[in-house]
Structure 1
Amino acid sequence: MSNNIDKELPNPPNDSISSLSFSKKADYLAVGSWDNSVRVYEVSPQGQSQGRAMYTHQAPVLSVCWNEEGSRIFSGSVDNTGLMFDVVTGQATQVAQHDGPVKVVKWVNMPHARVLVTGSWDKSVKYWDLRAPSPIATVNLPERCYTLDANYPSMVVGTAGRHILTFDLAKSPMLFQNIVSPLRLQTRVVTCCPDKSGFAIGSVEGRVSFYYIEEHEKRNNYSFKCHRQNSSSKEDQSLIYSINDINFHPVHGSFSTCGSDGAVHFWDRDARLRLKSFSRAPGPITCSAFNNTGSMFAYAVSYDWHKGFSGMTSGLPNKVMIHGVKDEEVRTRAAKR
């Protein structure tokens, strides 16, 4: 991008923005919203954007993702369904069904199958072959699914009750290890590391934890505080904000965090250092995404419902911003040597 000013997407959704996802093949951004819509924008290298498509659910959209080829978008909704949108034909069809809201959709490429994985508040994860109307497998969870991510062969699910379920999809899509989150309060997001060594966990207590999968690496597990502000009150020394999203840079392996405090930070995972802090936005950052090359970073400034319906007041911002990523903002200390 030609300057340091983050660019705003035109014609944003009319309600809170729940999910952002870039295509892996081109700079197309899918945006899911509480206004029941999924909007698709084409984003230029200069940060200029224009709407290309839109489709709707019958209730708020909670999650969006693309397939590997960039030809289809998947979305999960409070209407208990998962939809598939064909970007060539412009048609949306139902491909998943749950007994509760679909909180997460994730496209997973396995050696012998490509499946849509859906996690729901009905306490289940389902695997869908798009050629069949019924799930090819269903995993019953101990609690409601709040977050899910996969980077074959690993898949991680975070649920209510601080359960963290780890799957080795190469062995079985059904069996999982259930661990208790190392963070004390509710899990908001889990994100798999690009090197497949483990995953990051973000919680409502303003903490991030890294958890390594292999037993010999677990000594490297660590947690740190972030998204906190000093308080003027003598009784409360800091204001604590939820971690709403974590994303890894696709090239350098550094990662981003965004929170209810309106802040975005880029971090060096191994050196455990902050690489960049954005200027604080006038509202919570609900979700974020790097594009496939890591040259752009999208983030949504929107109400994140942490205060419930009463917190949804008029005048709150509702926008998607595009940041042109500089190499020095995301290169890890090891890469700079």
Structure 2
Amino acid sequence: MSSLRTVINFQAGLGVLANMFLLFFYIFIILCHRPKPTDMISCQLSFIHIVLLLTGSDIWIRDIFKSLNIDNDFKCKTTFYVNRVMRGLSICITCLLSVFQAVTISPSSSLLGKFKYKLKKYMISAFLFVWSFNLSFTSYRIIYSGAFTNVNETTQMKVTKFCSLFSMNYIIRAMILTMTISRDVFFIGLMLATSAYMVTILFRHQRQCKHLHSLSHLRASPEKRATQTILLLVIFFVVMYWVDFIISHTAVLLWMYDPVTLSVQKFVMNVYPTITPLVQISSDNRVINMVKHMQSLCHHIFKKR
């Protein structure tokens, strides 16, 4: 059990560092260069994943709140609420990333292609809707979570050493579950639909390029690399999401959460926010070129010394 906790903390640490690097990179691109529409989305996704990983780690959060001398009940409510808001935002922002990339690579004559030059206009509205929706949708977590007490243990489900979920009326639980599943199915369905659309466009493009004997140009296309990266992230997200969904909702329905199940769920939940920045870093030529430039600069400085 202790070795599993060590793995989870290492995983969270790696994910936070990778996402922080990517966050600073995108902020630099947005402020100092001409960013692509998807850079704004990726920047938000990096921030969301940092908060998601931090709030999902008991040790880090416990140490932060302990140093601030904050009440356990407030700590639990805040941690649960923020973590679930970030989890919902991760779904929505990944979906936005997929949709916006599908619009970006669409032919100008297509239906989606007509929105290509209005992406920035729609982006702000989409961000405001997604954030306000998730902040309000997850507000029930504030009511039904809190510090664990030894009194009335049957009405609480212990999910960490100090925090628990409180039991709720069967009808309320069914309504929340239905709404959560509806939200997730809608956004994941939209992700898969746009992914299928992007695969179709790439396949058609590849056939045209083969016909024109310019396959090398297709391989060098930044749009193709970006699209393949987003497709990989979407597929990875969908797989990890449903594994996490099955574990968490089975535990809630059975009202039973043993420490091993909780640790496995945390590991699965942290896989996507940890892998995402690593995939983006390795596939974005701008990041690779920046790292190479920094390496040559450091080498030049040390050589002078």
User: Does TM, normalized by the shorter one, top 0.5?
Assistant: no
Structure with the bigger RCO (C-alpha within 8 Å, sep 6+) is 2
TM-score relative to the length of structure 1: 0.23
| Structure number, greater radius of gyration | 2
Bigger share in strand: 1
Bigger share in helix: 2
